[in-house]
Homo-oligomer: A and B are copies of this chain.
């Protein structure tokens, strides 16, 4: 069974875990950090004990001020590869031509909306464009609450959905004091570290019951359900292997209670999971609303929401939704270029094949290292969970942080995640190759040897 309840302030604990003990830094790096503290506020997170001064990105590589190349296994934002020339070309061409708002007619936004919506299953057909994943989830939540009715939201207890006041309430990862009475958290199935001493159907039943109880708790407070809002790869949860049956049963419960299923595709979207364009398609349940962001513009700030024509029409006509920058011709040209490259370079299939190859390599490595408790994921969104031993499955959080920093020293950039801070999150740009996967596995092996 999983370890006990969360601390009162998981985000602080998480930040501390990530931060670790800072080594002595070079004068150049320390001077940059001092400037940053003054210009941007002290204490905002930097990656790694020894932060990186990155000056260039290309493909799956990030290059620092000393010219050292790092294999980027962290960033899913540069989806088709850092500084992809095809995307830069589209950006430049449209920015030299026209960049204005959507209250004029323009064909690029229509071409893009139609092409994007066509990758979703019926009845999802219509799009609204915004600039960030937070704005996308704001729109989704407003549609659920103000158009569908109800105020209650059920989220995973380790979720992250955005940084606005309304969305901070829907972040399990943030201090519980953020939440308020309208949000209930549930644990999502974790088959490696189950929250219940059960197996098979009984285990799924127990997890589904958490959602049932959450609906009842909201109702007991006089709050009707608006939405079940989940990241469909459960990234911050540590990428647990959530059974499709769970999602199907939960969505039935949510619909019975009058709520909507909002699929947050900011992390898994745009083919990253290899088998499907969108994370939710893995579970075989069409959401009522899908939101997307990070990889959509390869780093250019574009995000969006896809839903039924009826819901989006009500959003723009009843709630007067408008976003000054959202859906401008430059953003749409960039979004279109990302779809072009995905298709032409066959990157979804690459994610499927290389992801499988990578998990194979990691599982081989696990045979030599008791510390590797679990290897899981889909396509190029993968996780390695570290435990003190495979019997107790006690989280090896400190060692995971050491491994992350050792890999950074050895030229491979990864991040950690999960409620116990013991999961390496592997989420590279999509052109990640078998050779890159080999380097990742070899470096992880070496980092384990460093311990």
Contact = CB atoms under 8 A, between A and B. Distances in A.
Interface of A: 11, 15, 29, 32-33, 35-47, 51-57, 62, 75, 77-78, 82-83, 85, 87-88, 91-92, 95-107, 109-110, 113-114, 117, 125-128, 130-135, 138, 141-142, 145, 163-166, 168, 174, 293-294, 298-302, 309, 312-317, 320-328, 330-331
Contacts of A323: 132, 134, 163
Contacts of A40: 102, 109-110, 113, 126-128, 312, 316, 327
A315 B166 CA distance: 16
12 contacts: A29-B105, A32-B110, A33-B105, A45-B322, A53-B105, A88-B95, A92-B92, A92-B95, A95-B299, A131-B132, A132-B325, A299-B328
Contact of A53 (B88, B102, B104, B114): B104
Given A91-B91, A166-B165, A46 B132 contact: no
A11 B42 contact: no
B46 A103 contact: yes
Contacts of A11: 320
A56 B286 CA distance: 39
State the main secondary structure of chain A at its contact with B. mixed
Given A54-B100, A299-B330, 12 more contacts: A39-B113, A40-B113, A46-B103, A54-B98, A55-B97, A55-B98, A83-B99, A131-B131, A134-B135, A142-B165, A166-B166, A301-B331
Nearest to A42: B313
Contacts of A174: 320
Given A39-B126, A126-B38, A299-B325, A317 B96 contact: no
B164 A164 contact: yes
Nearest to A36: B110
Contact of A92 (B47, B91, B104, B113): B91
A41 B314 CA distance: 8
Contacts of A91: 91-92, 95
A29 B13 CA distance: 56
Contacts of A92: 88, 91-92, 95
A209 B323 CA distance: 35
A129 B42 CA distance: 14
A338 B117 CA distance: 35
- By CB atoms of chain B within 10 A, which of A37, A56, A91, A134 has the most? A134
A106 to B, nearest CB: 7
B54 A163 contact: no
A49 B332 CA distance: 25
Contacts of A109: 39-40
A405 to B, nearest CB: 14
**A-B pairs with lowest CB-CB distance, top 6:** A43-B317, A44-B316, A41-B312, A99-B299, A39-B113, A301-B325
Contacts of A131: 131-132, 135, 301, 325
Contacts of A114: 35, 39
B100 A324 contact: no
Contacts of A44: 102, 316-317, 321-322
Contact of A324 (B85, B117, B132, B328): B132
Contacts of A97: 55-57, 83
Contact of A127 (B39, B107, B314): B39
A36 B105 contact: yes
A98 B41 contact: no
Contacts of A56: 97-98
- By CB atoms of chain B within 10 A, which of A29, A298, A325 has the most? A325
Contact of A105 (B54, B126, B298): B54
